[in-house]
Structure 1
Amino acid sequence: MTATTPSAPDDTINLLDPTWSSDPRALVDRVTAAGGSAPALFADGFEVTLFTDDEDVRTILSDRRFVVNPDNVGSGSATRTKAEVFEALGIAPDLAAYMTENILAMDASDHTRLRKLVSRSFTVRRVNELRPRVQRITDDLLARLPDHTEDGAVDLLRHFAYPLPITVICDLVGVPEEDRPLWRRWSSTLQGFDPTRPELMNTVLGEMIDHIGEMIGRRRRAPHDDLLDALIRERDEDGGKLSEAELIAMVFTLVIAGHETTAHLLTNGTHALLTHRDQWDMLRSDPGLLPSAVHEMLRWCGVALVAQVRYAAEEVRLRGGQLAPGDRAVAVLMGANRDPNVYPDPHRFDITRHHGRPGEAHVGFGHGIHYCLGAALARQEGQVAFGSLLRAYPDLDLAPGREPERVPSPGALRFRDLYVRLTRG
């Protein structure tokens, strides 16, 4: 099956339009101007309703009347099954089975069951124990940046922002070092999903599933002491907790989600600081602002522009409109993070905005039961990375003539590269 790029009516937003990746603020402003909701065409070619109001976004993400699995919508509603959703995207049925066993595609008790199996590896205490390792990886990558300089510039995404989080998550999960270049290639393809080329997605998914299966087989024969071994024990000692498909899906979810968004947060945040030089200078002179700065990056230039589709399991009235059972709603995370009722002057990048405030006001990591499992780790990596970058290269600057290009990725804010000069000249 070969998908085609869907076209949208004039009054419907086409989320596959690359305009929204290059100028997401325009998308937020358009939906907000329409009253906080607007019809849109999703990647699978079917209509959703976008919501930007902070209160609506939080309701969609946390209210039990919304589900991520359309199979959990009551019978008789006009919606499709999970299998039909993946079929519409051109994903082969044997591969889609692993996607439907994914923790991201589960509701309520199934989601809780899987989350409990891995949550202990991402507690604040466990993450704090990892900090010295994160610092050593960071320092080593920064020390080697000059070796990658060409014509006075170095690609920060390729040589720092990607290697840092993928090394950390692969260490944590237990992915061998020699396999990590494969994961970066797979990750790049998955994150740049092109609905007009489902055969590419099928190839990558097939390679990943086969590879993880082989990795699990090797571990069963020669166990180590990491998260992968713990998951294998849960599977083999009590198969009711974890199926083989869920085990494989959990591994690729942890590795892909555990590095991809953090890598692009590092480049998005660096670009934001270097294009707001007063903020760079402020952070350089006051490292105590690092926690607030990372929160502001998550709010202002977080990687995920929208959350995954939710289905109304019953009739729901939101500030932006009413939904019937089976209706598809998409929470625009950037919309909530730019809601003027929550953030004064919301389009202004201000690293002091969150300083001294307890908790997390933004929805950069989502909200509700699907709140990002690795949020504490991502925050730590961000603080270590930016603090170390400022110390190592205080005069860092964007490379002239190498303006970074946005990847036309539906629902995500990603650069293809980020060339910088290590000293200003």
Structure 2
Amino acid sequence: MTAHGQPPLFPFDAPPSTDPAPEAIRMLRTDPVPLVRLAGGHEVRLVTRYDDVQRAMSDPRMSRAALATPDAPTIVPGLQSPDMMPNMDPPDHTRLRRLVAKAFTIRNVELLRPRVETVATSLMNQMLAAGPPADLVSALAEPLPGIVICELLGIAHDEREPLLAFTEAMSITTTFDQEAFAATGAVAASHLLELIEHKRRHPGDDLLSGLTQVHDEDGDRLSEAELLITVMLLIGAGQETTMAQLAKSVLLLSHHPDQWARLVAAPGLVPNAAEELLRVVALGHAGQPRMTREDVEFSGQTVESGTTVFPVVNAANRDPAVFPDPDRFDVARREAAHHLSFGRGAHFCLGAPLARMELQVALHALVTRMPGLAVAERDDELAWQPESLTRGLRRLLITW
């Protein structure tokens, strides 16, 4: 409790960083299932330990659909639509995920690797030709995943702007203007419906054409609302999270020049380094909240039915029970891939194989072509996006 007898306010007041909020790490160690309050007045529980976060994400007694209402406890009001796949429980979630998942299998994603490498090479060539300093965000971290997800969907890169405006509005965690959000959503939906109609008349070998055909077929199908919101989520998640992860990963590596030097000397370590960066780099405040359908036990404490639970992934990824010396950043850490950054259970991140591969490709390009890379601004000069779900960087100036 705070000095005033109230539960502490969540999200915790911490400056944007590559690290979790210190309060989350303290709770992991001393108060693993704390009661906290949200800005809207709701009191909710956090779970911070690895086993508890796994349980919160995978236990069938924990419901996502129960929180897909406008008045449910949340820190991201724009992500509460019941038509969003992440907000559904089985069997609805199972039906919708099955219709979308084929494009994101590990096998299909690996078929994309040569194209992703080509895009990364082109972007690197442009950076090298222009000379330092360069903004890593606008030169690589933003365009690489943006180009890839648009090509996968069959959407021209310059046709995504109205959709990006809405996906950015969906991920705001601070001020939320319902009227502006609705207006931005209407513009995005109108634009996307035009793209869908074009795909109906001229289908191609792309994901949007495939989803449109599924929508038009009998049997299992996407409703129009599901189709619209699924495509917007794919664009937003396919760009925003990877962009933030890559930029913050390079920033973290700049704080650990010994680890950067290991990657330069042994680029074969990049896949494992990507997993360690996914473990250590903090994106956002917490994973998707769930509501308990019945009493559930976490760390020996019974959480009553009807309680909203936020899994604090950033804390769980520093749990010493799973990751020895958890605050040590080690690109060769053996258990790095055990991180929970992509979730667990039925809602495990659909795009995880694609995000992993893009991060690997980008890091490999940087360590092999810019071995002398350094961040060209002090930490107190960095331009953050504290209002964004990922709490990423607007800009990251680098030299080489």
Partner letter of residue 345 of structure 1?
D
Equivalence for 2:148: 168
CA distance, structure 2, for counterparts of residue 190 and residue 338 of structure 1: 28
What is the match of residue 393 of structure 1? 370
More displaced stretch, 117-126 vs 24-33: 24-33
* Paired AA for residue 19 in structure 1: A
**Aligned position for 2:72:** 85
Query: What is the rounded CA distance, in whole Å, between the counterparts of 1:283 and 1:9 in structure 2?
Result: 49
Distance, in Å, in 1 between the alignment partners of 2:39 and 2:289 is 11
Deviation at 1:89, TM superposition (A): 7.7
| Equivalent in the alignment of 1:233 | 213
What is the DSSP-based 3-state SS (H/G/I as helix, E as strand, rest coil) of the residue aligned with 2:291?
Answer: strand
1:63 to 47, 59, 63: 59
Asked whether the 8 Å contact 1:148–1:159 carries over to 2, the reply is: no
State yes or no: 1:384 paired with 2:361: yes
Instruction: Identify the match of residue 404 of structure 1 among 376, 382, 399.
Output: 382
Write out aligned runs for 1:15-94 (5 A).
15-16=10-11, 18-19=13-14, 21-22=16-17, 24-42=20-38, 44-70=40-66, 82-85=69-72
Structure 1 residues 98-177: aligned runs within 5 Å: 99-146=81-128, 152-177=132-157
Decide which of 262, 265, 268 is 1:282's aligned counterpart. Answer: 262
Change in 2 beyond 3 A, CA 1:148/1:282:
same
Q: Which amino acid aligns with 1:418?
A: L
Deviation at 1:307, TM superposition (A): 0.8
Tell me whether 162-171 or 44-53 shows the greater mean CA deviation: 44-53
Q: CA contact under 8 A between 1:122 and 1:376: conserved in structure 2? A: yes
Partner of residue 322 from structure 2, selected from 342, 351, 355: 342
Determine the C-alpha separation between the residues in 2 that align with 1:45 and 1:135: 47
Does residue 297 (structure 1) correspond to residue 284 (structure 2)? The answer is no
State the AA in 2 paired with 1:37. V
Matched, 1:327 2:307: yes
1: CA distance, partners of 2:77 / 2:169: 15
Cα separation, 1, equivalents of 2:352 and 2:298: 28
Structure 1: runs of 5 or more not aligned: 1-6, 72-80
Q: Distance in 2 between matches of 1:408 and 1:320?
A: 34
Letter of the aligned partner of 2:51 in structure 1?
E
Q: Separation in 1 of the partners of 2:145 and 2:232? A: 15
Q: SS of the residue aligned with 1:322?
A: strand
Q: Work out which of the residue numbers 209, 212, 220 in structure 1 matches 2:189.
A: 209
Q: Distance in 2 between matches of 1:249 and 1:381?
A: 23
CA displacement at 1:120 relative to structure 2: 1.1
Give the Cα–Cα distance (whole angstroms) in 2 for the partners of residues 182 and 384 of structure 1. Answer: 28
In percent, how many aligned pairs have the same letter? 35
Name the SS for the 1:24 alignment partner: coil
Deviations 1:137-194 (A, max 9, x none): 0000111114666xx4221111110100011111111222221344444444333343
User: Hey, what's the Cα distance between the residues in 1 that align with 2:213 and 2:364?
Assistant: 38
Range with greater deviation from structure 2 (408-417 or 245-254):
408-417
- Tell me, what secondary structure is at the counterpart of 1:138? helix
Q: 1 CA distance for matches of 2:392 and 2:127?
A: 21
Q: Is the 8 A contact 1:36 1:53 kept in 2?
A: yes
Contact 1:192–1:408 (Cα < 8 Å) also in 2:
no
If the length of structure 1 is used for normalisation, what is the TM-score?
Answer: 0.86
Q: 1:297 to 1:133 in 2, by over 3 A?
A: same
Kindly report which structure 2 residues correspond to 1:186-205, keeping only aligned pairs within 5 A, or say none: 186-205=166-185
Quote the residue 1:13 is aligned against.
Answer: 8
Equivalent position amino acid for 1:300 in 2: V
Secondary structure in 2 matching 1:210: helix
Deviation at 1:406, TM superposition (A): 3.1
1:348 alignment partner, SS class: coil
User: In terms of mean alpha carbon deviation, does 30-39 or 319-328 score higher?
Assistant: 30-39
Shift of 1:372: 0.6
Does the 8 Å CA contact 2:53/2:316 hold for their aligned counterparts? yes
1:415 counterpart (387, 393, 396): 393
Q: Secondary structure at the match of 1:100?
A: coil
How far apart are 1:199 and its partner, in Å? Answer: 3.2
